[in-house]
Amino acid sequence: MHYTALTSALVLLPGALASGLTSLIAGHLYDHVGGKILGIIGSLVVSVSMVPFLFLNVHSSLIMMATCLIFKMIGNSLVMTPLTTEALNVLPDKLLKHGSAMLNTLRQVGGSIGTGLLLAVQSFFSTHSAFIGARAFFIGIIVIGLVRFLLALALRPIAQTNN
């Protein structure tokens, strides 16, 4: 859309701030409702917040994009913070540092693989039009959010096992 890097950064900034704030809130909510509920809600928020991106064009509002990104980042924080805690809660204390390292490594590798796959899909469909490629990318994010939703539905409560 030929905007400057500064403009792009200013569109992304509110989402990053919302993510940080939501992570703090999600940590407190986790203590009251658990990871499953937050995972379900967060996954749905991500999927729904990506739907407006399917209709992007050169006349789309930066405010609309920033608003949708805020909700996407809130949804991601509602998923990642509680489910990371949920995953680490099953480990005994002596394995927490190894579990944390493994979880962070897998998150980075998974994110790289997911980004690569989504960009491959975007590139494939961009041969027709850049906007068709972008729509394919956003459909991929929506599908990932829905898969996360289904996985969150399958979560069972985990008893505290830290010993």
pLDDT tens per residue across span 116-154: 999 999 999 998 788 899 899 999 999 999 999 999 898
Per-domain boundaries in the chain: 5-153
Average pLDDT over residues 15-25: 95
Integer Cα distance of 23 and 46 in angstroms: 15
> Which option is the CATH number for 5-153: 3.90.1150.10, 1.10.760.10, 1.20.1250.20, 1.10.630.10?
1.20.1250.20
Q: Specify the pLDDT at position 57.
A: 82
Q: Specify the pLDDT at position 135.
A: 92
> What's the whole-model pTM score?
0.84
Integer Cα distance of 11 and 106 in angstroms: 29
User: Of 140, 149, 138, 134, nearest to 117 (Cα)?
Assistant: 140
**Exposed (0-12), middle (13-18) or buried (19+): which is 151, by Cβ within 10 Å?**
middle
Average pLDDT over residues 82-89: 88
Integer Cα distance of 159 and 21 in angstroms: 27
Residue 145's SS3 state is: helix
User: Of 7, 161, 151, 144, nearest to 93 (Cα)?
Assistant: 161
Tell me if 22 sits within 8 A of 73, measured CB to CB: yes
Q: Which residues contact 51 (CB under 8 A, 6 or more apart)?
A: 142
User: Of 124, 116, 121, nearest to 139 (Cα)?
Assistant: 121
